[in-house]
Structure 1
């Protein structure tokens, strides 16, 4: 297959992550985790804007809030904050805390990582426990639903990462990076419950990170150590395509563009990786489309 990879204008981030395509505004939102920065790529302007989140140490994901223009759910260490940003100003402000794992004055060692909303606007997000290098299997995957108590979906997680839903088959896909696996679950849309885990992809050579899915049910897996996004058929567990990128540390993927047929790919320049590491790329000519990404209901 002939595909084309291009760099997105002014999209550098030290550790780019969490791409979210907003179909309403035709914007790609993503974050620079350790610099607590939100980025917005405006498709029509072909221009990237960025804002520092005031008084925060890190930002791990960004999802627009349903029904509230200019408001976003943002992972900020051990809490999910509602952040106000007009998409242009250099500073974004936290308005309130939507959810927190902090108990009183206790120091919380859980830090949110990847997060997405399901078809009903429930927020799924998991954590890393302690420092990245510690590899503690004490993190968890959570479900937050408006008006409901927090639910722990999976325990014993080390590095919570990719999330994807197949809207046609009611399947949920999840990556704990340190397992080097993608696990498929049956998904109950009415309750948000997952069941019947099944490993559908394993790659111990390159660390799986973020993930998305196309309308045919194929999953796209970013690899943090491999210059590659793998397109995988989870039913057959076959690698259909290895999409090669000009950066080693590929962090996450999302379909976007007016026809949802552009694959946006974030990357990292961690450990002094050379340019164009850290930039976001767009991949065209894949002959595939994604599902519209959902806003969160909070």
Structure 2
């Protein structure tokens, strides 16, 4: 029972960290209509930007997380409008394949610039917090707080701002939104910046929880994709639900399976969910 409780807490932490890049992935898919597989490399870029700010410039962690958001957001905009937008003329499938290639290029640029050595953030040593049989690190609690704050801020942006409402309108019906005077180029720019920025925050939080290397974002790419598919591609609340489901399931699987099977468990969840809900848990069926 103690191991089960500890694993459940670990799953909730993992799900909260996974939910942030899953939100970014789903937002980009909802508006631009293609799965951007460069998000793993963008998450890594944001994490390295945050690491440079923290270790190189002495910035506190909250400032470093914000810098990671901006770095990844700007990198995402550069990738979209320098390469992927042109590929989009050949169709969404070509754009998705191109995003894989761009992600690999960006990942290797990061490796060339920073090397393959593990990097660590400048964090104070602190004892784990103990709740009965459950242990959780202070930095894990702080990372969950950052993740929840990022999710709340994104929800507020979508609900309370004109740009957020424009994003929702384009996601629901791009042709009608265009007739209502919504500029699709501006909406695409904002969506890519925010979506990539959320991926950068996710990569930073994962780097804070463990360590940082050029494959940090690549290791979570398939889990983020699984979370978005399970929740319903393009569904913002679905991305959060899917992330927690994938995070908890992956951690629970460690009680019976070797860690090497974590991704297999994620895709088993995709298979089970889509067998009963082809559009995902909170996705809308396309007719």
Higher RCO (CA 8 Å, separation ≥ 6 residues): 2
| TM-score, scaled relative to structure 1 | 0.25
| TM-score, scaled relative to structure 2 | 0.26
